[in-house]
Amino acid sequence: MFEELKTFIAVVDFKNFTKAGNHLNLSQPTVSTHIKNLETFFGTTLINRSVKQKNIFITEKGYILYKRAKEVLNLMDVTYKEISNSSTTITGTLKIGASSTIGDYILPKFLSIFSEKYPDINVEIFTENTSAVCSDIRNFILDIGLIEGNLNDSNFNKGYFLKDKLTLALPFESDLTEDNFLFSSLQNKKWIVRENGSGTRDYLDLFLSKYKILPKSIMVVGSNYAVKESIKNKLGISIISKFIANPAVENSEISTITLDNTFTRNFSYILPKDVNVSEAAHIFLRELKLYSTTLE
């Protein structure tokens, strides 16, 4: 049964029988047999197959089994190590979804340290906006989500690991400075914004609403780097994380104006609710929290 569960998890992860077989070094007929055995055992359809389009669709009960199967295999792995005491090496694969600021500006340095300390834990990073990361955690596609801002959703287990300060970012040598700044001076300006679903976009919309600012125009871009480069090239102004702003200020690419504490936010981790996370995931979060203390 354990081999069938491993196969089922791989099929859900890859959404493809052939890719799952290649990952597990199994033939496609063997993969199909494992899935059929599970469906027979549970007496229900776990995966619907589209013959013409060659697509597969996981049923609601299939996702329930996927969630429980990961718990079962994680528990067996922990139990084996406790009983056999055969190795102190921590192994495993983690799929981490990170919103753009965290994925681009926090994780690279952390992962270099983490990988050196835990070389047998394989980490896969998927950088998406906050909304997409939450969706992937909800559907058990990812093991851990790292997102920006507060999340009021009872479908996740969550916690904070780092504080971030948002700042008003302007072109270098802008006429606006800390000394002469008034919110009224932001009226009728061009703004550079992230797409809907981005954590930073939520705060920018809050800023414009709070101070009743009417932009002259709004240009939407798909990454934090594009926001920073657009400001640098005098295409507009925006609100960005200190982790993006500080290096750009040091390099004389942009200038900034400090905002009040309303625009201080948390970087959070989220986990699927009611799922026993793996030992590797516990270690990843513990090390991330320790690393984050050096950044505040």
Same domain as 239, residue 102: no
- For residue 88, what pLDDT is reported? 57
Domain end call among 84, 100, 121? 84
- For residue 165, what pLDDT is reported? 94
Same domain as 74, residue 168: no
As a dihedral over the C-alpha atoms of residue 55, residue 57, residue 63, residue 68, rounded to 10 degrees, the angle is: -40
Domain end call among 51, 84, 117? 84
Same domain as 235, residue 197: yes
Same domain as 233, residue 209: yes
Mean pLDDT of the chain: 89
Same domain as 174, residue 29: no
Q: What's the DSSP call for residue 192?
A: E
Residue-range definition of the domain harbouring residue 261: 163-265
Same domain as 282, residue 148: yes
Same domain as 195, residue 149: no
Q: Give the C-alpha separation, 65 to 57, whole Å.
A: 14
Same domain as 181, residue 145: no
Q: How would DSSP label each residue in 165-180?
A: EEEEEEETT-S--TTT
- 76-91: average pLDDT: 66
Q: How far from 212 is each of 107, 129, 170, 183, 275, CA to CA, in Å?
A: 35, 26, 19, 9, 43
- 232-252: average pLDDT: 95
Confidence of residue 279 (pLDDT cuts 50, 70, 90): confident
| 138, pLDDT greater than 60 | yes
Same domain as 109, residue 168: no
Same domain as 193, residue 169: yes
Same domain as 255, residue 173: yes
Q: State the CATH number of the domain containing residue 127.
A: 3.40.190.10
Beta bridge partners of 38: none
Same domain as 241, residue 169: yes
Q: How would DSSP label each residue in 90-112?
A: --EEEEEEE-HHHHHHTHHHHHH
| 234, pLDDT greater than 70 | yes
- For residue 77, what pLDDT is reported? 74
Q: State the CATH number of the domain containing residue 57.
A: 1.10.10.10
Total of domains in the chain: 3
